[in-house]
Copies of this chain bind each other. A is one copy, B any other.
Amino acid sequence: MNQNMRNMEYAVRGKVVITADSITSSLKTNPSAYPFSKIIYTNIGNPHSVGQKPLTWPRQVMALVDLPDDVGVDNPNVSKLFPQDAVERAKELKSYMGGCGTGAYSHSQGIRGIREEVAEFIEKRDGGIKCNPDDLFLTNGASTGIGHILTACISGPSDGVMIPIPQYPIYSASLALLGGKQVGYYLDENKEWSASIEELERSLKEAKKNGVNVRAFVLINPGNPTGQVLSSSAISSVIKFCSKHSLILLADEVYQENVYDPNKTFISCKKAATEAGMLGKFEMVSFHSTSKGIFGECGRRGGYMELTGFDPDVQAQIYKLASSGLCSGIPGQVMTSLMVKGPKPGDVSYDSHENEKKTIFDSLKRRAVMVSEGLNSIEGFECNAAEGSMYLFPKVDMPEKAIQEAKKQGTNVDTLYSLSLLEATGICVVPAAGFGQEPGRAGFRTTFLPQEEEMKQAVELFKSHHEQFLEKYK
């Protein structure tokens, strides 16, 4: 079978998670098999799986868009169950579908009316910089968009893409599968996970020396797993670097709504490029998703990508690739529409919708602080604050004996530690090795998505397990 597929690793659903799933099964038949009653999944940015409630209004609109008119928007009893602004919004979305409804394949870039709404959202977000709906592709989450662009970049084993270390493993996994080279550039943990231009140039130079044709550059902002939020000038430096070396910039901006640090703001790469006078002068793709932010609608598989500066012929090839998968799911397209355009001030659902969003955001913000402070209070842990995103990536001082034991078992100490944590506490994290890190560093990634009470307990469990672990390997 395909050797590239065998070589691919995807830690977010890797060995630790598979063990967690089998513990869940054991607990069903033998509830006292472990010192806990259930697994606390902090391995993945999957908010609804750990207690976050869906926003009401988008689900109401979505239900009405799916219902045939006579039993939905045109039913005389519709107002008994649905607010008026949900009915209106559903009618608007249905009008975009030209009578076909949600059961038809759409244009392979996505429904035109929805792309126009996304374009308006981007223009507003970036202070008026123009966005052309023809440059937007609606995608199944960000994943399919990332897959399309990496597919376009990799022609053979000597092609490579620069990715941050640590990085989100969809990049390393996709590159392994495509048979391309992963060219890592290190983020500096001691400088809030920033990347210096010197490091970018060093990494590129080394790759070139090794015969790699570097085609593209991945920037994740806000960072995953690292949580930093970049300044306009930091982004501009990356843009100039990409332009100078003719690299396609993949701007992973799926956490753009998840900024908690009051001194930080999300600046899009598009805005930074415009301010630097570079927009359209180099190739850039920005990804967004309904799975993160405040919506957390992962199961819906909605999202979009925006292309700027592409050669029309290359863009046509990317369209062809999208069309070979026919179209992204319509429910995901509808959710994308509702993410970029909620109820207007004065609409009957406006206040409740904004309140629901604020409640989720404020709680995420409290958890970001509470968990990073909790982890930092553990002897031997060092953890940068989550300025944004949904993750913390603590560095853990591992006892030498544990490192030796991991070696003996043919694994790394991160995995040994994460499995030990899982079996002692039920907390399921991802070993840091799955994201990449500087040699000699160790740790894990955890979300702070479980609800506040549970997350508080988790912090206590992190602490008590670490003491046990040190005791065991002292």
Grouping DSSP codes into helix (H, G, I), strand (E, B) and loop, the A interface class, with mixed when no group exceeds half, is helix
Could you tell me if A177 and B155 are in contact, using CB atoms closer than 8 angstroms?
no
Contact of A13 among B5, B53, B59, B323 (CB under 8 A): B323
Interface residues of A in 283-306 (CB under 8 A from B): 291, 295-301
Contacts of A8 in B (CB 8 A): 320-321, 324
The reply to whether the CB of A465 lies closer than 8 angstroms to some CB of chain B is no
Interface residues of A in 383-403 (CB under 8 A from B): none
The reply to whether the CB of A56 lies closer than 8 angstroms to some CB of chain B is yes
**Nearest Cβ on chain B to A281's Cβ, whole angstroms:** 19
The CA-CA distance from A405 to B127 in the complex, in Å, is 53
Could you tell me if B330 and A299 are in contact, using CB atoms closer than 8 angstroms?
yes
- Among the stretches A44-52, A113-121, A269-277, the one at the interface with B is A44-52
Could you tell me if A49 and B104 are in contact, using CB atoms closer than 8 angstroms?
yes
Could you tell me if B49 and A105 are in contact, using CB atoms closer than 8 angstroms?
yes
Closest to A291 in B: B105
The reply to whether the CB of A262 lies closer than 8 angstroms to some CB of chain B is no
**Nearest Cβ on chain B to A420's Cβ, whole angstroms:** 23
The reply to whether the CB of A143 lies closer than 8 angstroms to some CB of chain B is yes
Closest to A6 in B: B317
Closest to A108 in B: B13
**Nearest Cβ on chain B to A27's Cβ, whole angstroms:** 13
> Contact flags (1/0) for A100-128 with B, using CB distance below 8 Å?
11111111100000000000000000000
The CA-CA distance from A47 to B100 in the complex, in Å, is 9
The CA-CA distance from A174 to B326 in the complex, in Å, is 13
Interface residues of A in 44-78 (CB under 8 A from B): 44, 46-49, 53-54, 56, 59-60, 62-64, 66-68, 71-72, 75, 77-78
Could you tell me if A71 and B78 are in contact, using CB atoms closer than 8 angstroms?
no
Could you tell me if A152 and B49 are in contact, using CB atoms closer than 8 angstroms?
no
Contact of A62 among B66, B291, B325 (CB under 8 A): B66
The reply to whether the CB of A279 lies closer than 8 angstroms to some CB of chain B is no
The reply to whether the CB of A22 lies closer than 8 angstroms to some CB of chain B is no
> Contact flags (1/0) for A19-48 with B, using CB distance below 8 Å?
001000000000000000000000010111
Closest to A144 in B: B325
**Nearest Cβ on chain B to A7's Cβ, whole angstroms:** 10
The CA-CA distance from A59 to B66 in the complex, in Å, is 6
How many A residues touch B, CB cutoff 8 Å? 78
The reply to whether the CB of A191 lies closer than 8 angstroms to some CB of chain B is no
Could you tell me if A67 and B60 are in contact, using CB atoms closer than 8 angstroms?
yes
Could you tell me if B105 and A5 are in contact, using CB atoms closer than 8 angstroms?
no
The reply to whether the CB of A230 lies closer than 8 angstroms to some CB of chain B is no
The reply to whether the CB of A263 lies closer than 8 angstroms to some CB of chain B is no
**Nearest Cβ on chain B to A302's Cβ, whole angstroms:** 9
The CA-CA distance from A352 to B325 in the complex, in Å, is 33
Could you tell me if A10 and B320 are in contact, using CB atoms closer than 8 angstroms?
yes
Contacts of A67 in B (CB 8 A): 59-60, 63
Quick one: given A78-B81, A80-B77, A324-B8, are A329 and B299 in contact (CB under 8 Å)?
Answer: yes
The CA-CA distance from A460 to B67 in the complex, in Å, is 35
Interface residues of A in 319-340 (CB under 8 A from B): 320-321, 323-332
Contacts of A68 in B (CB 8 A): 53-54, 56, 59
The reply to whether the CB of A409 lies closer than 8 angstroms to some CB of chain B is no
- Residue in A5, A53, A107 with the greatest tally of chain B CB atoms within 10 Å: A5
Quick one: given A317-B6, A324-B10, are A300 and B102 in contact (CB under 8 Å)?
Answer: yes
Could you tell me if B317 and A329 are in contact, using CB atoms closer than 8 angstroms?
no
Could you tell me if A324 and B66 are in contact, using CB atoms closer than 8 angstroms?
no
The reply to whether the CB of A141 lies closer than 8 angstroms to some CB of chain B is yes
Contacts of A327 in B (CB 8 A): 299
Show 20 A/B contacts (Cβ-Cβ < 8 Å), sorted by A: A5-B320, A6-B317, A8-B324, A13-B320, A47-B104, A49-B104, A59-B67, A60-B67, A60-B71, A62-B63, A62-B66, A63-B66, A71-B81, A75-B81, A100-B299, A104-B299, A105-B298, A170-B324, A300-B331, A301-B329
Chain A interface residues (CB < 8 Å from chain B): 1-6, 8, 10, 13, 21, 44, 46-49, 53-54, 56, 59-60, 62-64, 66-68, 71-72, 75, 77-78, 80-81, 100-108, 140-141, 143-144, 147, 151-155, 170, 173-174, 177, 291, 295-301, 314, 317, 320-321, 323-332
- Besides A10-B320, A49-B100, A177-B321, 14 more A-B contacts (Cβ < 8 Å) are A2-B151, A2-B152, A5-B320, A13-B324, A47-B103, A60-B67, A63-B63, A63-B67, A77-B77, A103-B296, A140-B329, A143-B326, A174-B324, A329-B332
